[in-house]
Amino acid sequence: MSAVKKNYPSVGILYGGAIWHRDPWQYVFESFELIDVFKIMQKRFRWAKRLDLSRYDIVAIGWAPDQIFLKENESEILRFLSMGGILIALGEFDLNWLPHTRYMRGFENDIIITGAKDTIFKNLTTKDVSDWDDSAHGYFTSIPPDAKGIAQIVVNGRKHYVAYIDNERYVGSLLAMTIDPDFHTYNGLASARLMLQNIAGWAIDEYYRVFQSNLKNLDLAKKLSFRVRPYFVELLAAIMAGILSTIATYFLLQYFFR
């Protein structure tokens, strides 16, 4: 890996023991840390077996990690997104551990790109992402209301999304897809590697977008605090004066009418 740039996001890759959970990401991220599922699950105390994503800006969950573990930690995944984290989720979602999402397992090859043509699917065509020998590991029967579907398949004459982006519901952003470019990158498929590079680029861009948005909100909060502070001080002074006046009146009445 090359030298890591200043302010490069902290990236965590969920590692479940498979080589494609680890190796493909070295082509697309300058630096990352493995989040070893088995090490977490082997900890002695139950409270220590929980997933903690608080140290990461971007988290990638590739194809076929431990689904039970993910289901048990769905609240942490939601917290991560709500706190501004960028989540990449690929492959399978058997236990419906993604918020507001329902999944149906299956294997399909004919992908129809419907969105994100300048980000996730940049320089890729429908043909490029189809016929990967199981390009999609199922489809979503429902996605979050504010999410944007970006790829579909047709099953029994009906269209279903196999990929979506949700950056409206959370402070952070979520990319979910039943496509598994990590595994196919490991198998040497050039179009899969390009998609994985696009995904990493999207995640980094989203990180900086959220980061800048948070800076603007912080700056606005500071400006508002300076405006509010004088009025707050005046109000506090008036309240204290009223209290002191009441106390003084009480003692005067006690003195004259005792």
Query: Per residue in 205-235, pLDDT tens?
Result: 999 999 887 766 555 444 444 444 455 556 6
Tell me whether residue 69 is in a domain. Answer: yes
Unique residue bearing structure tokens 């990352």 = 32
pTM (2 d.p.): 0.80
CA distance 167 to 180: 21
Output the six-digit token pair for 129: 């992402």
Q: What is the largest CA-CA distance in the chain?
A: 98
pLDDT at 36 over 70: yes
pLDDT at 162 over 60: yes
Q: Do the beta carbons of residue 179 and residue 151 sit within 8 Å?
A: yes
**What pLDDT was estimated at residue 167?**
92
User: Using one digit for the tens of pLDDT, what is the confidence trace for 85-113?
Assistant: 999 999 999 999 998 999 999 888 899 99
User: Using one digit for the tens of pLDDT, what is the confidence trace for 6-27?
Assistant: 688 999 999 988 888 899 999 9
Unique residue bearing structure tokens 């890591």 = 4
Task: Give the CA distances from residue 183 to residues 21, 62, 177, 201, 222, in Å, rounded to whole numbers and listed in that order.
Answer: 8, 8, 13, 18, 46
Q: Supply the CATH number for residue 185's domain.
A: 3.40.50.880
In the chain, the number of structural domains is 1
**What pLDDT was estimated at residue 2?**
41
- The parent domain of residue 48 ranges over 11-213
Tell me whether residue 5 is in a domain. Answer: no
Residue 235, helix vs strand vs coil: helix
**What pLDDT was estimated at residue 74?**
93
Which candidate, 68, 70, 57, places its Cα nearest to that of 14? 70
pLDDT at 161 over 80: yes
Tell me whether residue 23 is in a domain. Answer: yes
Q: What percent of the chain has pLDDT over 90?
A: 61
Q: Average per-residue pLDDT in the chain?
A: 86
Tell me whether residue 91 is in a domain. Answer: yes
Provide the pLDDT confidence category of residue 40 given band limits of 50, 70 and 90. Answer: confident
* 246 Cα distance to chain centroid: 55
